[in-house]
């Protein structure tokens, strides 16, 4: 019988995270005065122990035992060979996926949610606020807060709040308070609702609300928690790629291609950054972050300084951005509707270390259905984007007659997203292409900010 899964023991789970900032140079985030942001400016938003990680350039950072104990609930996650998908595609490629759907909330998100909840608890914080798009991050933080006895408030993008009611149920089960964003609870939310009462919302808006709710809490015991984009979030996720490298080594494999879906960049970076380290040091590996054509942050947006939220509460970040005023179409991959991309991922794209791809919504669900009917797992809509790219690359391998090794991150299951599959199966889903004139509008929004230096690391 062929070996389907590769496991690690709990003792083999990585004890350190990999920090990409040790190996690349980047533009700094900027404050309101146009100067680099200081740790003191971030202190009302994040605890100082996480701020220290955000700015650290140490290559390896120890994972505290108090985090490992919770991660051990589901980690190490399995590496799985997609034999049935390979057969269906009649490809010479060997396809492996790192399955992150085994976590309690069903996605990769708890890898950083647990870490952030732990560090906030250690710092004396009592409550966390956050935003969520599809609900994966909100569910993960609700779970993590329940593990460490913290209160949790989640602002969920309205379109996903309506489309995915069971995500809210998950959050409430773990003790979190979940409200639709924009809400009437914050100044930022009320301003948006006044302009457009029927807005579907956006991650940028929800971030503004969550940040405002944290910094205006008079108790001083509330902080904000972010599920993607920032350096410390990418750091915590690298346990995925570090485990995958160990698992592939056990069977004598190394990937020719590494793939992950990318909205803000966290699951993609988690798998890809350890391999990006190898590529920076001369290894020949192709690395593809994948996004929707409806939200083409990496493939069509400029590399610029922009706010991470709609109200402009966050520092200016050097990233590929569609402009912080961007409101995406209501595609069903809610986690991929963000206007920007993680600065670290953006820098690696500028460097040519990573090459982004974009796929339409229909093609991604076709890929998801094929994988469900071969591998048996129903993927999250976000993961379907990675699957579409995997299938594309497997077909190319067949055309070229090459035995390539493809590794991708199965970032989460889609069992809470079946309403979207219903729409696909009934022919109601359609593709959205981001209009060229909207790209020009985004560029106008960004003209008011300084231009990042084009730094080339290789």
pLDDT in tens, 120-140: 999 999 999 999 987 889 999
Q: Is the pLDDT of residue 187 over 90?
A: yes
Q: How far apart, in whole angstroms, are the C-alpha atoms of residue 261 and residue 164? A: 20
Radius of gyration of the chain (CA): 20
- Cα angle value 371/234/273 (rounded, 5°): 70
Instruction: Characterize the bridge pairing of strands 79-81 and 5-6.
Output: antiparallel
Contacts of 159 (CB under 8 A, 6+ apart): 200, 201, 330, 334
Q: Which of 171-175, 289-293, 414-418 has the lowest mean pLDDT?
A: 414-418
Q: How far apart, in whole angstroms, are the C-alpha atoms of residue 308 and residue 264? A: 10
Residue 127 has which token pair?
């409550």
Of the candidates 59, 71, 56, the one whose C-alpha atom is nearest the C-alpha of residue 12 is: 71
DSSP state for residue 36 in the 8-state scheme: B
pLDDT tens digits along 355-385: 999 999 999 999 999 999 999 999 999 999 9
Of the candidates 80, 83, 101, 104, the one whose C-alpha atom is nearest the C-alpha of residue 93 is: 83
Q: Record the pTM.
A: 0.96
Q: Is the pLDDT of residue 229 over 80?
A: yes
Structural domains in the chain, sorted by start: 64-106+232-446 (3.40.50.1100)
Contact 376, 355 (CB under 8 A): no
pLDDT tens digits along 46-82: 999 999 999 999 999 999 999 999 999 999 999 999 9
Q: How far apart, in whole angstroms, are the C-alpha atoms of residue 186 and residue 42? A: 20
Q: How far apart, in whole angstroms, are the C-alpha atoms of residue 382 and residue 263? A: 8
SS3 assignment, position 220: coil
Of the candidates 389, 368, 400, the one whose C-alpha atom is nearest the C-alpha of residue 92 is: 400
Contacts of 183 (CB under 8 A, 6+ apart): 155, 189, 209
Mind giving me the DSSP string for 320-348?
EBS-TT------S-GGG--SB--HHHHHH
Backbone angles phi, psi at 47, to 5 degrees: -70, 150
Based on the number of CB atoms within 10 Å of its own CB, is 38 exposed (0-12), middle (13-18) or buried (19 or more)? Answer: exposed
Q: Is the pLDDT of residue 331 over 60?
A: no
Confidence (pLDDT) at 327: 74
Of the candidates 78, 76, 100, the one whose C-alpha atom is nearest the C-alpha of residue 13 is: 76
């Amino acid at each position: 019988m062929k070996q389907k899964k590769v496991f690690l023991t709990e003792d083999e789970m990585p004890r350190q995270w990999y920090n990409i900032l040790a190996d690349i140079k980047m533009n700094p985030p900027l404050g309101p005065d146009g100067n680099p942001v200081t740790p003191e400016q971030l202190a009302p938003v994040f605890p100082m122990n996480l701020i220290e990680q955000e700015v650290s350039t140490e290559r390896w950072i120890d994972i505290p035992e108090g985090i490992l104990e919770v991660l051990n609930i589901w980690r190490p996650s399995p590496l799985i060979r997609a034999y049935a998908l390979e057969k269906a595609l009649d490809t010479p490629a060997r396809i492996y996926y790192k399955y992150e759907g085994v976590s309690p909330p069903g996605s990769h998100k708890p890898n950083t949610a647990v870490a952030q909840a732990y560090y906030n608890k250690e710092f004396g914080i009592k409550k966390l606020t956050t935003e969520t798009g599809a609900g994966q991050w909100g569910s993960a933080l609700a779970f993590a807060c329940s593990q460490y006895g913290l209160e949790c408030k989640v602002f969920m993008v309205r379109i996903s709040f309506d489309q995915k009611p069971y995500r809210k149920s998950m959050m409430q089960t773990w003790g979190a308070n979940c409200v639709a964003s924009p809400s009437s609870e914050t100044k930022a939310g009320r301003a948006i609702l006044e302009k457009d009462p029927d807005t579907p919302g956006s991650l940028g808006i929800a971030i503004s609300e969550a940040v405002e709710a944290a910094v205006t809490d008079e108790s001083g015991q509330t902080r904000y928690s972010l599920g993607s984009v920032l350096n410390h979030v990418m750091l915590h996720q690298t346990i995925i790629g570090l485990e995958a490298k160990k698992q592939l080594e056990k069977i004598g494999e190394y990937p020719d291609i590494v793939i992950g879906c990318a909205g803000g960049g966290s699951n993609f970076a988690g798998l890809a950054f350890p391999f990006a380290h190898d590529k920076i040091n001369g290894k020949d590996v192709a690395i593809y972050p994948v996004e929707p054509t409806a939200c083409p942050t990496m493939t069509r947006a400029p590399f610029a300084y922009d706010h991470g939220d709609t109200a402009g509460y966050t520092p200016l970040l050097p990233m590929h951005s569609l402009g912080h005023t961007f409101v995406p179409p209501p595609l069903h991959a809610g986690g991929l509707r963000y206007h920007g991309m993680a600065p670290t991922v953006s820098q690696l794209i500028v460097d040519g270390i990573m090459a982004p791809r974009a796929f339409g919504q229909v093609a991604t669900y076709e890929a998801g259905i094929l994988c469900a009917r071969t591998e048996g797992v129903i993927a999250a809509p976000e993961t379907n984007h990675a699957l579409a790219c995997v299938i594309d690359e497997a077909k190319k391998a067949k055309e070229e007659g090459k035995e390539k090794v493809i590794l991708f991150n199965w970032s989460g299951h889609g069992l809470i997203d079946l309403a979207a599959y219903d729409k696909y199966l009934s022919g109601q889903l359609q593709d959205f292409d981001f209009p060229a004139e909207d790209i020009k509008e985004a560029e106008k929004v960004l003209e008011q900010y300084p231009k990042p230096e084009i730094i080339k690391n290789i």
